[in-house]
A and B are shown apart, each in its own frame.
Chain A
Amino acid sequence: MLAVYKREMKAYFSSPIAYIYLAVFCLITGYVFCLGNLMSATTSFSSVFSVVFTVMMVLLPLLTMRLFADEKKQKTDQGLLTAPVSLSGIVCGKFFAALSVFALGMLVYICYAAVLNVLAGSIPFAEFVGNMCGLLLLGGSFISIGIFVSSLTELQIVAAIGTFIINLLLYICDLIASNMQWEPVKAVLNAIGFYSRYTEFTQGILNVTSVLYFLSVIFVFNFLTVRVLERRRWS
């Protein structure tokens, strides 16, 4: 797992992709931070954390699209799958590499918090930590979905678009649910929708079911990726 992790990290930073991702991430969140916190003189993080949902929906597929699609295309998966490593080790290595790049972007929030702390004297620390946890969970979920889609195709662009569409569906679940009359479907849509669950975090609520929900999404999609790799051997 560590070998795969190290390789993926190296690959991210030897190509422009990680830099572009980090730059765009900092640019957008920085803009919102200036507008939402500095200009409006508030220590509430809700705006700067909620805007990031849509940003990640679009940006994270770019981080995950390559992970398995490219292996398949370059036939390098043959090297991985014939090495004495478990499939879950390979998937975890890739997952944590993408998560690390994502977490690196999150560090910029600590800068924002530090700036606010200096300017305002104090910040709602618990709320900030809760928000960070929420963001990490959301990022992990998007990444595991992205890796899963990437394992299904050989083309990076297909993986990126596919991931984006799934992310979008999870985003608009809540919108559809609010217009839905039929109760059972409404309940299901509400349960699987990402956005309302995530906004809870930005409002300073730490809901254990949401935490568990995101953790299960991460687990399920990584598990499905392992199954996809396994299945390929038998086809």
Chain B
Amino acid sequence: MIEVKHLTKNYGSKTAVNDISFTVSDGEILGFLGPNGAGKSTTMNILTGYISATDGQVLINGTDILDEPRKAKKHIGYLPEIPPLYPDMTVEEYLNFVYDLKKCRLPRKAHIEEVCGLVKIKDVSKRLIRHLSKGYRQRVGVAQALVGNPEILILDEPTVGLDPKQILDIRNLIKRLGKKHTVILSSHILSEIQAVCDRIVIINKGVIAADDTAEHLSQVVTEDVNYTVRLDLGAAYTVDAPPENVIKVISSIDGVEKTVFAGSKEDNTGDFEIEVEEGKDIRRELFRRMSDRNWPILELRTNVMSLEDIFLRITMGSEINLKKSGDKKEENTDLKKELFKKVDAAVGTIRSEKQSGADTEDAGSTDSSDGTQEG
């Protein structure tokens, strides 16, 4: 059980974390999500007692990390952003050192073997950490957090530098551990958080922008329905049916708010994005109208908002507080509209940037440094 109350951290005049409060109950996996420099690492460093908060309180299983650091730290296994590995030791020596450092009372050999087995580093246990690849080092980092079976695991970007197979392994491991342990996990990769976590805290510019379950978050933000339709406009595409003409036809359907031409991805076709009023279903009418004109519908897709979109929307407009908004949808609609107006323009550009950078990111690029750390 971790209780964080009104946590604030200033680096000089810069505020890295501003009045954060949340609670993680036993056996919960909490995802900590935010862009680089949002204050994720700072918060985790405070939780683990590496740095002190300017203001606020952290209780680890009821023990204040400042008053009784040693007692509180005993409950925590921490994987910092850069795993604290000594390159001049072998994996085995290092884990034994961590075992001593944490003053574990478990049967030494069996326990260390078990931990090595969990993260699959048994085959390198006799090798110097200096000679290990990044993926192995990261896994040794996870292993040192697991030594001593702490009840609470705090993992700062645990899958950075791993290949897709290893990422899956670690995710499954975290899921399994989450049954017995309390886990806080940070990441800027959304699919990871979505796959593993029960609850998500989105942090941006040092404040909590959202704190809810993944499903709830999706519900809050996705009430607008969006379709993308691909029409076969035939050979007469350019002459007979320029996009303006099609847009006029679609827009005449009752319930359509906005239609946008989204380019032509196959010969003689056109893609259109259709925004629909809340609660209206235009699909049947759309079919009939297109059929009348002999514009066969090749594809009709409902655009469900992914966590990615939610994340972008929330972090772009975090000044509008969405916190715990799942319970009060009525109130929320106005806020939401305001929010969307503000961010929609920006989201487009960011998404395209993100898309181009996404491949490298998923492969575990190293540019995950959290700006606040250096501050």
Contact = CB atoms under 8 A, between A and B. Distances in A.
Contacts, number: 76
A11 B102 CA distance: 19
B103 interface: yes
A7 interface: yes
Interface of A: 2-4, 6-7, 10-11, 14-15, 74-86, 232-235
B234 interface: no
A7 B50 CA distance: 21
B38 interface: no
Nearest to A93: B101
A94 B43 CA distance: 29
Given A79-B78, A235-B51, 17 more contacts: A2-B100, A7-B97, A10-B89, A74-B84, A74-B85, A76-B86, A78-B45, A79-B98, A80-B84, A82-B50, A84-B69, A84-B70, A84-B71, A233-B49, A233-B52, A234-B51, A234-B52
A77 B84 contact: yes
Contact of B101 (A3, A75, A77, A233): A3
B120 interface: no
B230 interface: no
B244 interface: no
A85 B88 contact: no
A77 B80 CA distance: 11
Contacts of B51: 232-235
A85 B89 contact: no
Interface in B278-326: none
A76 B101 contact: no
Interface residues of B, number: 30
A15 B103 CA distance: 26
Contact of A11 (B88, B101, B144): B88
A159 B246 CA distance: 74
Contacts of B11: 235
A162 B60 CA distance: 40
Given A81-B49, A233-B52, A75 B80 contact: yes
A76 B84 contact: yes
B335 interface: no
Given A74-B86, A76-B84, A79-B84, A84 B74 contact: yes
A18 B103 CA distance: 28
Interface in B48-86: 48-52, 69-71, 73-74, 76, 78, 80, 82, 84-86
